[in-house]
Amino acid sequence: MKTNTVLSLGGISRLRSLLLVVALLLTLGGVSPLAAAIERTRPVDGFREFFLGLGVPDGVLFDGTYMWVTDHYNGTVLKLQLDGTILATYPTMGAEPQFLAFDGENIWVSHYRGSVTELRASDGAFLGSFYYAAYPEELVYAAGKIWVAGAEGGFILQASDGTYLGGFGGYGGGGVTFDGENVWVTGTSPTNSVMKYRASDATLLGTFAVGSGPSGVAFDRGNIWVANFNDSTVTKLRASDGALLGTFSSRGRDPQFIAFDRTGNAWLTHFDGAISVLRPSDGALDAHYNDLYPGNLAFDGSSMWVAVEVSGSVARFSPGAKPSYGKETFALDAAQALTFDGTNIWVTQDGPPTVTELRASDGAVVGVFPQGGNFSGGITYDGTYIWIANGDKDTVTRLLQSDGSMQGTFPVGDFPSSILFDGVNIWTANAYANTVTKLRASDGMLLGTFPVGSSPASITFDGQNIWVANANGNTVTKLRASDGTSLGTFPVGLEPLSIVFDGTAIWVSNYASDTVMKLQTSDGKIVATEMVGHEPLRLAVDGTHLFVSCNAGNTVEQRALDTGDYQHNFGFIYFPEAVLFDGSNIWVTRLLGGVSKLTPSAQ
């Protein structure tokens, strides 16, 4: 049996604040917004994501012709055509812009630190700045006024000149909508409720109980819907009198924003990274999308637009967009590397260092066992034992596959970053030593240590020879497996992080080049180079297809093995890392934790 290892870069906390940090780091990468919008946009199953190079996109708004998107980090607002083309970027003249409203002529922007600014929609000219309360959030135009909901209560501005007209309730909620006659505002203090105000004179017409932690609110042309963040529900009220019509599961954790499409379906974005689409009649789930980490929503009359904070993008869902692939996701903190034993999937985890055995058929946990060290540099199976590379310990650990019992720990080189079984022996690529180590699988005896290129990151076997991707050397090294003799070093792209053998040729992912390359095994000649999604991290093959986890592209691509041509991607998988084929399905670990099981496309 010959098995490759796949390696994850490591997990971090699921805290949402870290998502914003990631978003800022992506912005600091210096990607040109327009170039990103052109180069990283791909239509898939009615879904399209436009990578605009935004710091943190917060609010989205459709003005009847154009889509507007705020950039919280850069203090700007972008004006887009509905094909994602950036028409203009305007300064909002205030720090940390959040949400948007349109009064028929001008764009109004709420700012986290307290101000509301007004821009002329035609050319972005600054018309004024108004400050009346801290932390203004969502805002809406109604009856000639701008209604601004806020964490510390709302306020009303005259749309013609920004004159302050007074305040209103809604403490701690932040959501606001207009039903054609009345304004509805969510609040958490003193009670979890939604308040109804007559738009013409701001008279309070009623306060209605909803779920815990009401956040977003929207009108479906007959009823009011409220997303309840704390109890993960959505409340449906009759707009005419506030009567409760139903309380439904939001079909995701911590719902934030809500909007309706042309068919009347309710779209909810969730703090856990999901989007759920609910049928309005009974709240039944119509569609569900994972791993997008979405924010504010806007409907353009045909498609639903969603701000994606962590990737500096906006996503557009065309009518009837549905995932055309099978995907299940299993909760598993700090998931790292993967291997398959013929029945079950083994997943290494950091903090605390463990390895979890999952039943491949349904993802059920079979067992959890000690790993031996943090910073797992990969995992492989030799037919009897599970082998784990312990990056921080400069060792490999051997577990009995049948019961997970520890069967030995063996020294290798400095920071083993990848591990492989060649049918007889175990090989590790030692990133800090610029070497590979060969161990006898039967007893862990050291058989040799051999020099390779700079920072070896991944290793594979072609039946006779060992191939090593050297991340800092931008090369691959070919060694004769029998004695470790170097048979050549061959140039590839920038920062090769993964290497696999497909039965005929060698494939390499070039993380910093956004490419994959196909090499002849005979002489290392590059026979194909294909552009892929942003930051290709890991590779897997199934005999017909090549699978590429695109780390910053937030998906896994499926490509034709013979040509490398793009065939399909698997939708939203936030920062996918290790990728593995089990004979039927693709398994993927994710930066923020969890393991996804994907069904390959028939293409």
Instruction: Report residue 200: phi and psi, to 5°.
Output: -70, -35
Q: Which residue has the higher pLDDT, 172 or 370?
A: 370
- Are 519 and 490 contacting, i.e. CB atoms less than 8 angstroms apart? yes
In the predicted model, is pLDDT for residue 581 greater than 60? yes
Q: If 0-12 CB within 10 Å is exposed, 13-18 middle and 19+ buried, where does residue 266 land?
A: buried
When pLDDT is cut at 50, 70 and 90, the band that residue 26 belongs to is: very low
> Kind of pairing, strands 566-569 and 376-381?
unpaired
Q: Please check whether residue 454 is in contact with residue 438, taking contact to mean a CB–CB distance below 8 angstroms.
A: no
- CA-to-CA separations, 284 to 227, 306, 331, in angstroms, rounded: 15, 21, 24
Cβ neighbours of 247 (radius 10 Å): 16
Judged against a pLDDT cut of 70, whether residue 13 lies above it is answered with no
Task: Please state, in angstroms and rounded to a whole number, the distance separating the CA atoms of residues 388 and 393.
Answer: 11
Question: What pLDDT is stored for residue 309 in this prediction?
Answer: 79
Q: Is 15 left (phi over 0), alpha (psi -120 to 50) or beta?
A: beta
End-to-end Cα separation, the chain, in angstroms: 28
* pLDDT tier, 175 (very low <50, low <70, confident <90, very high otherwise): very high
Whether the pLDDT of residue 41 is over 60: the answer is no
Contact (CB, 8 A) for 39 and 298: no
Mean pLDDT, the chain, whole residue set: 87
Q: How far apart are CA 313 and CA 201, in angstroms?
A: 39
Listed ranges 275-289, 293-307, 369-383, 440-454; the one with the highest mean pLDDT: 440-454
What percentage of the chain has pLDDT greater than the value 90?
Answer: 67
pLDDT of residue 134 exceeding 80: no
